[in-house]
Amino acid sequence: MAQTLRDQLPASGSGGRGWVPPGTHPDPRPPDEADVVVVGGGVVGWSVAYWLKVLEGWRRRHGMKVLVVERDPMYSRASTVLSAGGIRQQFSLRENIQMSRFSASFLRDINKYLGVPNEPPIDIQFQPSGYLFLASPQNAAALEATVKVQRDEGAQVTLLSPTQLKEKFPWMNTEDVAVASYGLEDEGWFDPWTLLNAFRRKAISLGVQSCSGEVRAFVTSANHMLPSAPPSARIRYAHVYMPDSLEYQPVACAIVVNAAGAWAGKLLEAEGLPRGLCQPPLPIQPRKRYVFTWHCPNGPGLSCPFVIDTSGAYFRRDGSAGNYLGGMSPPKEEEPDASDLSVDHGYFQEQVWPRLARRVPAFESLRVRGSWAGYYDYNTFDQNGVLGPHPRLENLFLAAGFSGHGLQHAPAAGRAVAELVVKGRYETLDLRRLGWDRLVAGEPLQEHGVV
Amino acid sequence: MLKIIIPTTMLLPLTLLSPPKHMWTNITLHSFLIASISLQWLTPTYYPNKGLTPWTSIDQISSPLLVLSCWLLPLMFMASQNHLEQEPTTRKRIFTSTIILAQTSILLAFSASELMLFYIAFEATLIPTLILITRWGSQPERLNAGIYLLFYTLASSLPLLIAILHLQNQIGTLYLPMLKLSHPTLNNSWSGLIASLALLLAFMVKAPLYGLHLWLPKAHVEAPIAGSMLLAALLLKLGGYGIMRITILVNPPSNNLHYPFITLALWGALMTSAICLRQIDLKSLIAYSSVSHMGLVVAATMIQTQWAFSGAMILMISHGLTSSMLFCLANTNYERTHSRILLLTRGLQPLLPLMATWWLLANLTNMALPPTTNLMAELTIVIALFNWSSLTIILTGTAILLTASYTLYMLMMTQRGTLPSHITSIQNSSTREHLLMALHMIPMMLLILKPELISGVPM
């Protein structure tokens, strides 16, 4: 009978909040005001929110009001959860290597950073199998030069000759390989969904608020000024639109962080931002990339690293039962249409499989299990992240455009932006070269290791 | 008295019927006129009460507070102009009407010569304040703040109502001049003790006393600027003023009753000053500093000596002006950056140097720098307390030290330090803001020259 009586009561809301009146919207509404609005609830956005609270110090519970706005609580198109989840230090740009090393040490001690008391410990299922870059004779010198830079920065990378490769990985066909670089430590892959949830759980326990909605418009101080072009403007309100509705909440904010990933460029074209101040436009576009999974019983074993072939195709082991996943970034002329996430299965049959089968003879017989597509937040200018304050909009910070490395750089990028906000300058990693100035001056910082 | 009350009441039709273009000008100008007329209350007189009627009277304790409330009305209007700019005209009119209603109730409360009228006006100030906080505050926490304010004040003032009615029954009158002449005493029994507790508790909550102060940081932080000024400068003084009026009625149980109040007040002054050093929110810091200063006022009024009353009066007036000015300064920051967090609104001196001067002056008066009246008040209170008991000097001395440290902390954090990375160009300080600060500062400077006006001594 007690059960019957209990069933009569309306289902209570989440334990912390207590009773909510029936008929209220289940997702939390955006507040009227927040000190920092982080647009985008992917791993970079939650990382920024987490580090903001951590760097605030002992006052965190009652300090800044940080609001993370995510328009898709199911994360159906977010790059974070559709990522292959790799982390490597094998980049050619020093800042990228430093960011990855920071993230690797962060992930090593993840329970120290993101552990919440009385909650189960976090297991990101890190597979430390390393990355293996294969270089053809034309690219051998460049690879050796980048390995030298990586070693300078402290990454544990070694160069392997074809004979050493054959010895280490007998399943590989080493024709056309002049030299290979193999990461020995802090490289591999992990579960991005766990990392995202860990950041979210810890940030919420530190007092970060989140709401679902889409930021489609801003109100800046330039709206009140005379039409003569102001040199700079402040964002005063961010209009957060409710899902599937025309209702919006103007959130008064002191700082806006653009962590919108693939749509970071589109956010800066939002209504209300003065056109003259948003030049040059942020060159970040969504680029669709396919990932295919297959089963091959006789394939490479547990020692299989994340292999990037001379042709650009890549694959890695997925679990221990003979499953693999991989893909290839298409050349610029053949970019797939990024308006939806449908997969072109012919791409695997025609482009990826032949290359992989040439490199790993065992892959000649395989069974495709599935596939998905995700977006790279592709920086068309120089394929590197843009971090730091906007030159003209005073209180807008950017953390986007990582072109496929967003997940592995998320802890470092989050900490960098948080240091800018709380301390006023970069302290742990000096990432000034990744700022907006290079876009304005037109000087690309090329990264040669974009997979 | 009527020449102030009637024009203040007529400000209501003025705001409701003014053409929108002239509304702010009309209101501010007319309230300035009322403020200048109210200065005549400060003139010396042979009579114990000026303008004595069966309902209102003005004596040396009420006149400074009445002049302060008339002076702050135009300043409240000036401070609210910016954040109300976006609102439709009707809402602006309702806002100003709410403030005017609060103003009439406060004028009645300070000038009431009958305890029942005082009680009614005391309660009546609550409703416009509640409306200001819950309707025009900007965070969702304002609902919580309104509930705290309402229920703390109501719960403590219902016993006051009962005690006043009981007194009316016993003594036959509640007319203050009569009570001063007849000095009614309560029994030294349990019922007398409870009666005096009931009489004092409402004002202790309002003042506020340290243990009953939880409503204050919430209400001050969530209120719009006019609400914060109203609360800090005027409503808190209702508590102090009420204690001063009531103390003639609570002898002799107060001989034992004052101990917990003085202890809590002095300890609270120390504790809240220490809490100020840990605050992140600027308005919350200023709110706790109000609790600290009013703690000294409560302690002084409880020992009931001439010097203590005089010190409490000067402190109430100077704190009213200083605290109101600090809230206005915090509001100028908030209107520009939309954030009250100290971490995000710091290093502003290079960006707004003129406002930095006002920040400096306000903070100097807050930490009782000589020769300001704040110092005269604090010294008088400290000496009076020392005379009552030598050990209090430890508590008051530490409180003054902590006051200076958190005030300097606030000054350094907001004006100097690392430049914020998200504020490179900021809207310049407008003339209205400078005028606002100047009108706060000028009375404080002038009163240094003649503090007898506000010292509550019969002139």
First and final CA of chain B: distance in angstroms?
A: 19
| Chain B residues touching residue A57 (CB < 8 angstroms) | none
Domain span at residue B394 reads 256-420+430-458
Task: Based on the fold, state whether residues A313 and A236 are members of the same structural domain.
Answer: no
Residues A216 and A276 in one domain: yes
B138 contacts on A by Cβ (under 8 Å): 32-33, 252
Whether the predicted pLDDT of A35 surpasses 50 = yes
Looking at the domain assignment, is residue B288 inside a domain?
A: yes
- The pLDDT score that the predictor gives to residue A13 is 45
Instruction: Give the residue from A377, A396, A429 where a domain finishes.
Output: A377
Q: How far apart are CA B281 and CA B268, in angstroms?
A: 20
| Average per-residue pLDDT for chain A | 88
β-strands A313-317, A367-379 pairing: unpaired
Cα distances from B119 to residues B37, B153, B159, B236, B449, in angstroms, run 26, 12, 11, 15, 35
Whether the pLDDT of residue A41 is over 60: the answer is yes
pLDDT at A36: 94
Rounded to a whole number of angstroms, the distance from the CA of B277 to the nearest CA of chain A is 12
- Nearest CA to B34 out of B95, B132, B109, B104 is that of B104
| Nearest of A171, A180, A185, A5 to residue A108 by alpha carbon | A185
The pair of structure tokens assigned to A244 is 């599937």
Nearest to A255 among B278, B419, B422 (CB): B422
> Which residues from chain A sit within 8 angstroms of residue B418, using beta carbons?
423-425
Beta bridge partners of A69: A39, A211
- Does the residue A90 lie in any domain? no
Residue B54 in domain: no
Q: How far apart are the C-alpha atoms of A397 and A394, rounded to whole Å?
A: 8
pLDDT of residue A7: 67
Residues of B with CB below 8 A from A33's CB? 138-139, 338
The ipTM value here is: 0.81
Q: What is the pLDDT of residues B17-52, one digit of tens each?
A: 999 999 999 999 999 999 999 998 888 877 788 888
Domain co-membership, A292 together with A369: yes
pLDDT, one tens digit for every residue, chain B (459 residues): 889 999 999 999 999 999 999 999 999 999 999 999 999 888 887 778 888 899 999 988 999 999 999 999 999 999 999 999 888 999 999 999 999 999 999 999 999 999 999 999 999 999 999 999 999 987 778 888 999 999 999 999 999 999 999 989 988 889 988 888 888 887 778 888 898 899 999 999 999 999 999 999 999 999 999 999 999 999 999 999 999 999 877 767 777 888 999 999 999 999 999 999 988 899 999 999 999 999 999 999 999 899 999 999 999 999 999 999 999 999 999 988 888 888 888 888 888 999 999 999 999 999 999 999 999 999 999 999 999 999 999 999 999 999 999 999 999 999 988 888 788 778 889 999 999 999 999 999 999 999 988 988 877
Enumerate helices (H) and strands (E) in chain B, giving the number of each: 19, 0
Confidence of residue A22 (pLDDT cuts 50, 70, 90): low
Nearest CA in chain A to B427: A221
Write the DSSP symbol of residue B56. B
Number of domains in chain B: 1
Provide the residue range defining the domain that includes A232. Answer: 33-81+194-283+382-441
Q: Is residue A350 part of a domain?
A: yes
pLDDT tops 70 at residue A319 = yes
Q: Do A65 and A175 lie in a common domain?
A: no
Q: What letter would DSSP give residue A335?
A: P
* CATH number of domain containing A149: 3.30.9.10
Structure token pair of residue A308: 């990037």
Statement to judge: residues A222 and A371 lie in one domain: no
Question: Can you point out the beta strands (E) in A275-366?
Answer: 284-295, 306-308, 313-317, 323-328
Residue B62 lies in a domain: no
Task: Say whether residue A424 is in contact with chain B using an 8 A CB cutoff.
Answer: yes
Q: What angle do CA A44, A47, A53 make, to 5 degrees?
A: 145
Q: Domain boundary at A327, A360, A377, which?
A: A377
Picking from A352, A377, A402, the residue at the C-terminal end of a domain is A377
* 8-state DSSP, A436: T
> The tokens 């470092």 sit on which residue?
A412
* The pLDDT of residue A53: 92
Whether residue A209 lies within 8 A of chain B, CB to CB, comes out as no
C-alpha to C-alpha distance for A326 and B401, rounded to whole angstroms: 67
> Mutating which of B283, B338, B351, B424 best tests the A interface, going by the most A Cβ atoms within 10 A?
B338
Q: Which of residues 391-420 of B touch A (CB under 8 A)?
A: 418-420
Nearest to B425 among A31, A389, A394 (CB): A394
In a domain, B118, yes or no: no
B213 vs chain A: nearest CA distance in angstroms? 19
Pair B86, B136: CB distance under 8 Å: no
| C-alpha–C-alpha distance, residues A135 and A309, integer Å | 8
Contact B349, B343 (CB under 8 A): no
Burial of B162 (0-12, 13-18, 19+ CB in 10 A): middle
Same domain, A206 and A272: yes
Comparing alpha-carbon positions, the chain A residue that sits nearest to B347 is: A424
Kindly state whether residue A22 falls inside one of the protein's structural domains: no
* Whether the predicted pLDDT of A10 surpasses 60: no
pLDDT in tens, B90-121: 999 999 999 999 999 999 999 999 999 999 99
Two tokens at A418? 């948080």
State whether A63 and B280 contact (CB < 8 Å). yes
pLDDT at B242: 94
Same domain flag for A136 and A182: yes
CB proximity B143 to A under 8 Å: no
Instruction: Provide the b/e sequence for A352-367 (b: ≥16 CB within 10 Å).
Output: bbebbbbbbebbeebe
Residue in A closest to B85 by C-alpha = A224
Q: Do A255 and B278 touch (CB under 8 A)?
A: no
The single residue listed with the structure tokens 């900021």 is B426
Query: Quick one: what percent of chain A has pLDDT higher than 70?
Result: 93
- Asked if residue A414 and residue A437 are part of one domain, the reply reads yes
Q: Does A389 touch chain B (CB under 8 A)?
A: yes
Question: Would the CB atoms of B339 and A56 count as touching at under 8 Å?
Answer: no
B131-177 pLDDT per residue, tens: 999 999 877 788 889 999 999 999 999 999 999 999 899 888 899 88
Helices (H), A191-326: 192-205, 264-267
Q: What is the pTM for the complete model shown? A: 0.88
* Residue from A121, A102, A111 nearest A186 by CA: A102
Check whether A338 has a pLDDT greater than 90.
Answer: no
Count how many domains chain A has. 2
Q: Give pLDDT, residue A11.
A: 55
Residues 6+ apart with CB under 8 A from A245: none
Provide the pLDDT for residue A14: 46
Cβ <8 Å between A252 and B421: no
Name the CA dihedral angle for A84, A88, A94, A95, rounded to a multiple of 10 degrees.
50
Q: Which residues of chain B make contact with A20, given a CB cutoff of 8 A? A: none
CB distance B138–A56 less than 8 Å?
A: no
Report CB contact under 8 Å: A59, B427.
Answer: no
Contacts of B197 (CB under 8 A, 6+ apart): B159, B257
- On whether residue B12 sits in a domain, the answer given is no
Any domain includes B354: yes
Query: Contact A97/A153 with Cβ under 8 angstroms?
Result: yes
Lowest mean pLDDT among A105-109, A359-363, B253-257: B253-257
Q: Please report the number of interchain residue pairs, chain A to chain B, with beta-carbon separation below 8 angstroms.
A: 66
Q: For chain A, how far is it from start to end, CA to CA, in angstroms?
A: 62
Length of chain B equals 459
CA angle B264, B268, B269 (to 5 degrees): 125
Rounded Cα distance between A85 and A193, Å, is: 9
Among residues A174, A189, A172, A135, which one has the least CA distance to residue A325?
A189
> CB of A332 within 8 Å of any CB in chain B?
no
Residue B90 lies in a domain: no
Label each residue of A47-79 as H, E or C.
HHHHHHHHHHHHHHHHCCCEEEEECCCCCCCCC
Q: Please report the pLDDT score of residue A225 as a whole number.
A: 65
Pairing of strands A313-317, A323-328: antiparallel
User: What is the rounded average pLDDT of the residues A102-118?
Assistant: 92
Distance between CA atoms of A333 and A311, rounded to whole angstroms? 16
Task: Using CA coordinates, name the residue in chain B closest to A64.
Answer: B341
Overall residue count recorded for chain A in this entry: 451
The reply to whether A278 and A222 lie within a common domain is yes
Whether B332 is in a domain gets the answer yes
**Using CA atoms, how far apart are residues B182 and B3, in angstroms rounded to an integer?**
31
pLDDT at B140: 78
Whether the CB-CB separation of A434 and A278 falls below 8 Å is answered with no
How many angstroms separate the CA of residue B427 from the nearest CA in chain A? 9
A23, part of any domain: no
Chain A partners within 8 Å of B278 (Cβ): 59
Q: Does A35 touch chain B (CB under 8 A)?
A: yes
